[in-house]
Amino acid sequence: MSVRILALVGSLRAGSHNRQLAEAAVKLAPEGAEIELFEGLAEIPFYNEDIDVEGDVPAAAARLRAVAGEADAFLLFSPEYNGTIPAVLKNAIDWLSRPYGAGAFTGKPVVVLGTAYGQFGGVWAQDEARKAVGIAGGTVLEDIKLSVPGSVVRFAETHPVDDAEVAEQLSEVLNRLHAHVDAPAAA
């Protein structure tokens, strides 16, 4: 059985370096793991309990929940917007946190990583994402991190998958996540 990992990217920009990092993860997925890059976060309305009604959930949010429900683990790719988590990623976390106590993240491993222009690679935003997804029920793997600084310069002409150092670090993250998910099944 293949481990299903869902990747959510907190940037909607076509040339997003975080999206490129997620694309690299898809290519570098370890044997026995399948990483799906979720498309459609831009179509999901802001979370509002008034529209989160059983049987009448907006289609885009229902699709996210369905795909996330099938995932064994999550990769959240977060850039840093004004020192914190981007709204699109926070919105996805909010939708996946419901129903309370039984959302799609509940009990599943989550790794938060990313890249940003600054010298720390977006660690503030990634820390905020870890906090939010942990409260939403995810099992945040705090010891598995990757923050790539200087994205605008570093990836100006090189895709992350072609950056040997980043590809090696990302492969290590993916292998550790895969091992974590696979460990309970092997026991």
> Please, what is the average pLDDT of the chain?
94
Inform me whether the pLDDT recorded for 177 exceeds 70: yes
Distance CA 135, CA 100 (A): 10
Q: Are 160 and 115 spatial neighbours (Cβ–Cβ below 8 Å)?
A: yes
- The residue extents of the domains of the chain are 3-186
Indicate the pLDDT class of residue 187, thresholds 50, 70 and 90. Answer: very low
Inform me whether the pLDDT recorded for 52 exceeds 90: yes
Higher pLDDT, 134 or 101: 134
Q: What percent of the chain has pLDDT over 90?
A: 87
What per-residue confidence (pLDDT) applies to 128?
Answer: 97
| Average pLDDT of the segment spanning 104-126 | 93
CB-count exposure of residue 1 (10 Å: 0-12, 13-18, 19+): exposed
What per-residue confidence (pLDDT) applies to 100?
Answer: 86
Inform me whether the pLDDT recorded for 183 exceeds 90: no
CATH 3.30.70.20 for domain 3-186: no
Provide long-range contacts, Cβ within 8 A and 24+ apart, for 43-48.
44/91, 44/92, 44/95, 46/87, 46/91, 47/91, 47/94, 47/95, 47/98
What per-residue confidence (pLDDT) applies to 184?
Answer: 57
Q: Are 110 and 141 spatial neighbours (Cβ–Cβ below 8 Å)?
A: yes
Burial 72-104 (b: 16+ CB within 10 A, else e): bbbbbbbbbbeeebbebbbbbbbbbbbeeeebb
| Average pLDDT of the segment spanning 142-163 | 93
Displacement of CA 51 from its chain's centroid (Å)? 24
What are the pLDDT digits (tens) for 5-16?
A: 999 999 999 899
Q: What percent of the chain has pLDDT over 70?
A: 97
For the entire predicted model, the pTM comes to 0.95
The region that residue 122 occupies, defined by phi over 0 for left and psi between -120 and 50 for alpha, beta otherwise, is left
Displacement of CA 98 from its chain's centroid (Å)? 17
What are the pLDDT digits (tens) for 14-46?
A: 899 999 999 999 999 999 999 999 999 999 999
What are the pLDDT digits (tens) for 97-112?
A: 999 889 999 999 999 9
